Amino acid sequence: MRNTCIILILMVMNFCMGSSVVANPSDARPRTDANVFGHVVDATTGEHLPFVNVLIKGSRIGTITDASGHYMLTNLPEGPLTILASSMGYALAEIDFEAELKTTKEVDIHLAPASINLSGITLTASPTASGFRYQPDAVFMGEQIQRRSEPSFGEMLNGQPGVSMRSFGSAPARPVIRGMDGDRILVLENGERMGDISETSADHSISLDPLAASRVEVIRGPASLLYGSSALGGVINLMTTDIPDQWDANVSGVVSVQGATMNNMGAGFGRVTIGRESNAFTGRFALRQAGDMTTPEGAVPGTSMSNYDGALGWGINTERVNGGLSFSLSDQSFEIPESVDVPEEDVEIRAQRMAFQGRFGKNLSGQFFDQAQLRFNTTRFHQQEVGIERPAGQPAVELIGLEYEQYAFSSTLTLQHKPVGILARGALGFSLNGQSLDVTGDESYTPGEQRFSMATFTFQEVPLSNTLRMQFGLRLDFQNSQALPNEVFPEVRLSRNAFNYSGSLGLNIRPFEGLEIGAQLARSHRNPMVEEIFADGAHLGAGVYEKGNTQLNDEIGHGGDVFVVWERGSVKMELTGFVNDFANYIIFQPTGRWMSLRVTKFFSMPKARPAYMEMNSVWGIRLQIACRGNPLWTGYAAGGSSIMRPTGTCPLFPLSAGATKWNMIT
């Protein structure tokens, strides 16, 4: 598999190098000796800017500035020309000049700093927001989220290329990326771990209402470099504006409502922001109520849900410091049918989460590390699994058989450095994570766990030409985990120290406008969870008897991705191929035994190698009727299809997945 991935990368590199050579082929053009050279500098500080794209408008003649900000273009066509200079964090500069035969002119370019437009940049994939991609991703925001609005993030993202969902109903639906679930998929809130337990079982939900998200980013493929050793399958980052980052000096707000007939669902959301010159305050609320789902054969009992969600936040933005703090609360309850044949018995999940989040960034002008950002998220999470019996003509009887209480802390410090040598802007980071989970109740099927980890990582990019860029990174993780005994597992003892490393190497090529090609090789490492090792009991919410395995080993993954994106006008097409190779892949399979419930056990497979091809196409038509520039009516029609097919067979992953969606909004 490694040889296959290396061959794929070399093929892409060969194509990329061939394309990048053509980008500025001075020897392939008529020899005019009409040349231009100069420096690109920061308009405010006078600092020379390396790795700036410098192009002749309307042509493919271009280059990038060297480490001293110098550029030179040779053998230009005679006549009036326009130089375009662009760099992340600066406004586009256009300089007009006259190219003359056998004449070399000096033209210095001054770039004005500007705020970065992040609408099309996947922040989760790069700490520097460079805009270059090395693995498949997707960004949803604003109107896109409204069109996809569903009761859960699993349903919202279901059908995207490489994304499906696991579901015990609408509420606990959680995204599955490339057939992987659990803690192999990290679900983040504003770049940090959420502190809930949605990854531990299929009956646990993500503790954030989809209405609260202002932006959702999906990274398909290994993302262990930036977010920890367990992110073998990908990352989903749910971004809110509880800490405001942009605002006007006034009062603004938004209100949204939803409804559905399938389960008599009603939902509402509201946000208000009070902005001042350098700081702002914001508050939001969301509520959702739904009854049992209905089918052509009648209602499905035990599928109702209820969510309440709210937050208060404060933001600051000055020349040197930006960021803020927020406090949020969520309260969820949803039912899971215990047995289709016994509708008077079901299980209700009740969960509450409190979170205190912060984000602060600082500009360090004149320093090698010129930007710093600190993020943190502290949470308390509490969940009860309540068995409910409703005898005919009698009051309901409740029994709390299983209870979770978790305190968690997640933080990341990222330092961005200036371009140096052959390196473009890069980052050095440090992360600290800790959690303490207590599991109590007569139906506890696993002990609790206390986990602490700290890590350091680096992310670097090397511009090889004005169309070709390379990325590489390394992450070192130290983790200590300890099993916590409870009344069902009083004798359990486990204390383990682990040192893991993850890395990635990627290429990005943009041979011409509208076409982008990317590739990445990555290594990831995952330690078994405590329930995978010690579970021994009936888990009523999941409807199985879970059996752990103390012989499990660490999972080691090696993955390769290659993607091609072509976009023209309202049409966008993406083709992705990937292959993963896992050693000691942990699976959860039935044993064929029954102990009041089906017995399932965690096993470790020596080898697992899924290989898939993903295809995606999207089109959109927008029609607007306006009078004197004022929109009177806007219509939007969109269609798309995605499909994932295996190029090999593997019993661990779905063999195929596909979706076709059509939307029309007026």
pLDDT of amino acid 410: 96
Which pLDDT band holds residue 475 (cuts at 50, 70, 90)? very high
**More confident of the two residues 462 and 635:** 462
| CA 650 to chain CA mean position, Å | 26
Q: Are residues 532 and 599 in contact, defined by beta-carbon separation less than 8 angstroms? A: no
Q: Are residues 325 and 361 in contact, defined by beta-carbon separation less than 8 angstroms? A: no
**More confident of the two residues 286 and 579:** 286
Q: Which stretch of 111-120, 287-296, 313-322, 630-639 has the lowest confidence by average pLDDT?
A: 630-639
Mean pLDDT of 516-531: 88
Place of tokens 């949204």: 256
pLDDT of amino acid 46: 81
- CA dist., res. 480 & res. 470, Å (int): 34
- CA dist., res. 181 & res. 233, Å (int): 8
Q: Which stretch of 110-119, 240-249, 446-455, 458-467 has the lowest confidence by average pLDDT?
A: 110-119
Which pLDDT band holds residue 373 (cuts at 50, 70, 90)? very high
pLDDT of amino acid 29: 55
Q: Are residues 169 and 293 in contact, defined by beta-carbon separation less than 8 angstroms? A: yes
pLDDT at 665 over 50: no
- CA dist., res. 532 & res. 528, Å (int): 6
pLDDT of amino acid 664: 35
pLDDT of amino acid 129: 66
Parallel, antiparallel, or unpaired for β 630-646 and 611-627? antiparallel
Q: What angle do CA 590, 153, 572 make, to 5 degrees?
A: 110
Q: Which stretch of 215-224, 271-280, 301-310 has the lowest confidence by average pLDDT?
A: 215-224
Mean pLDDT of 645-656: 39
Domain boundaries, the chain: 31-111, 237-665
pLDDT at 194 over 70: yes
pLDDT of amino acid 624: 42
pLDDT at 286 over 90: yes
- CA dist., res. 192 & res. 653, Å (int): 28
pLDDT at 35 over 80: yes
Mean pLDDT of 192-197: 92
pLDDT of amino acid 228: 77
Q: Which stretch of 124-138, 201-215, 492-506 has the lowest confidence by average pLDDT?
A: 124-138
**In the chain, % of residues over pLDDT 70:** 81
CATH architecture of 237-665: Beta Barrel (2.40)
pLDDT at 142 over 80: no
Burial class (CB in 10 A: 0-12, 13-18, 19+), 391: exposed
Q: Helix, strand, coil: what percent of the chain each, to 5?
A: 10, 60, 35
Q: Are residues 136 and 161 in contact, defined by beta-carbon separation less than 8 angstroms? A: yes
Of residues 25, 17, 139, the one with CA closest to residue 508? 17
pLDDT at 603 over 50: yes
pLDDT of amino acid 195: 92
| Beta pairing partners, 489 | none
pLDDT of amino acid 606: 65
Mean pLDDT of 646-655: 38
**More confident of the two residues 628 and 581:** 581
Predicted confidence (pLDDT) per residue in 614-637, tens digit: 544 444 444 444 454 444 444 444
pLDDT at 179 over 90: no
Which residues, in sequence order, are CB contacts of 518 under 8 Å at separation 6+?
A: 132, 133, 134, 135, 136, 506, 507, 508, 509, 561, 562, 563
Q: Which stretch of 154-168, 197-211, 606-620 has the lowest confidence by average pLDDT?
A: 606-620
Mean pLDDT of 47-52: 82
Mean pLDDT of 418-437: 92
Place of tokens 């030179």: 72
Q: Which stretch of 151-155, 266-270, 287-291, 613-617 has the lowest confidence by average pLDDT?
A: 613-617
pLDDT at 350 over 90: yes
pLDDT at 224 over 70: no
Q: What is the DSSP letter of 278?
A: S
Which residues, in sequence order, are CB contacts of 160 under 8 Å at separation 6+?
A: 138, 218, 616, 642, 659
- CA dist., res. 609 & res. 660, Å (int): 27
Q: Which stretch of 12-16, 327-331, 625-629 has the lowest confidence by average pLDDT?
A: 12-16
- CA dist., res. 544 & res. 202, Å (int): 11
Mean pLDDT of 9-30: 42
pLDDT at 230 over 80: no
pLDDT of amino acid 19: 39
**More confident of the two residues 520 and 637:** 520
Mean pLDDT of 14-34: 50
Mean pLDDT of 187-199: 92
> Which of the listed CATH numbers 3.40.50.970, 3.30.420.130, 2.60.40.1120, 3.40.50.150 matches domain 31-111?
2.60.40.1120
Report the 10 Å Cβ neighbour count for 615. 16
Which pLDDT band holds residue 558 (cuts at 50, 70, 90)? confident
Which pLDDT band holds residue 269 (cuts at 50, 70, 90)? very high
Which pLDDT band holds residue 592 (cuts at 50, 70, 90)? confident
Of residues 501, 553, 557, the one with CA closest to residue 528? 553
Question: What DSSP element (H or E) covers 144?
Answer: helix 143-147
**More confident of the two residues 549 and 2:** 549
- CA dist., res. 273 & res. 253, Å (int): 6
pLDDT of amino acid 595: 66
Highest mean pLDDT among 167-176, 384-393, 425-434: 425-434
